[in-house]
Amino acid sequence: MIRLVALRLALMLPILFGVSIVAFTLMRALPGDFAQASAGTTAISAEALETIRRNLGLDRPVWQQYLGWLAHALTGDLGTSFVTRRPVAGELLPRLAVTGELTLIAGLMAMIMGTATGLASARLRGATDWMVRGLNSLLLAVPNFVIATLIVLLAGLYFPQLAIFNYVAFVADPAGNITGLLLPALSLALTVSVTISENTRAAVLEVASQDYVMVARAKGLRRRTILVHYLVRNALTPVVTVTGLQLAALLGGSILIETIFTVPGMGQYLFDSVANRDYPAIQAIVLLSATIVLLVNVLVDITYARIDARVSYE
């Protein structure tokens, strides 16, 4: 097990290295001068520009700049925001926590909706199966920001008393915080639940045709016991994997959803940073989210191997 974890993490390192190069070049590729961009919109003299350039180390060779930046990033220094002039890491962390909470709620919702519909679809067959699959194909075609916009529209038309844009911090009002995140989470969860639902259905159908389920049925175990102990348990393996792999979709989707529902998370921070051309912030978000996705992928692989003894990565 320890070997597996070490191996997976070791395999992750070169990719992470590449990710950091992409994040670095992305910022250097922007049109115009980086020093000029960091000065913002204010007019600035040539000497002042030269000072900024020296302070940022832009007079050094590119590879030195990269290594310097990487060393700082590794110690948690993600640069200084062009807009607020404060460390990006300090601004990013609280927003990451908000996005993390939103993603978690959305992930749970998607898992519950997905496994429930997938299970119903596989066990009840017939009309239920037909309906669930039809609805799933339709839902797959509705982007999450369209769902969110329609939710806001419906809420505005039919439930005007519902306050949907008032995000409150968790420490201020835990219950209000969670209920405030329910609608944004729902818009995120619907699309993801489709993937989970389809996978649950396929997994249950496959497990149901296995010999050991037939044996269980033959020796007269109750339907309920078979369902809970044989079907659900074994079908859950691919579901866990899929849910984990959907994290990238959830993180990407939260950018849009947070902007629509004005939730002060990482997505909204990215959106604001793009609008303000706050490049260090954009860079930090890109680097951080890719790292999170990579780590979760490793975690999913390990969980997978842990649940299912047949899986090996030798």
Interacting residue ranges for another protein, rule: CB under 8 A? 14-16, 18-19, 22, 26-27, 29-31, 137-138, 140-143, 145-146, 149-150, 152-153, 156-157, 195, 248-249, 251-253, 255-256, 259-260, 270-271, 274-275, 277, 279, 282-283, 285-286, 289-290, 293-294
Give least dist CB 171 to another protein, A.
Answer: 28
Backbone torsions φ then ψ of 263, nearest 5 degrees: -95, 125
For residues 272 and 278, the answer to whether their CB atoms sit within 8 Å is yes
Closer CB to another protein, 178 or 249, in the complex: 249
What angle is formed at CA 54 by the lines to CA 53 and CA 55, rounded to 5 degrees? 95
To another protein, the closest distance from the beta carbon of 159 in angstroms equals 12
Please say which residue, 115 or 254, places its beta carbon nearer to another protein: 254
CB 287 within 8 A of CB 76: no
Q: Looking at beta carbons only, is 101 or 272 nearer to another protein?
A: 272
CB of 156 to another protein, least distance (A): 5
Minimum Å gap between C-beta 229 and another protein is 29
| Closer CB to another protein, 93 or 221, in the complex | 93
Residue among 91 and 278 whose Cβ is closer to another protein: 278
**Beta strand segments in 20-156, E:** none
C-beta contacts of 195-198 below 8 A and 24+ residues apart:
195/114, 195/242, 195/246, 196/110, 196/111, 196/113, 196/114, 196/115, 196/118, 196/239, 196/242, 196/243, 196/246, 197/113, 197/114, 197/115, 197/117, 197/118, 197/121, 197/132, 197/136, 198/118, 198/133, 198/136
Gap between the Cα atoms of 103 and 218, Å rounded? 43
Residue number with CB closer to another protein (234 or 246) = 246
Shortest Å, Cβ 16 to another protein: 8
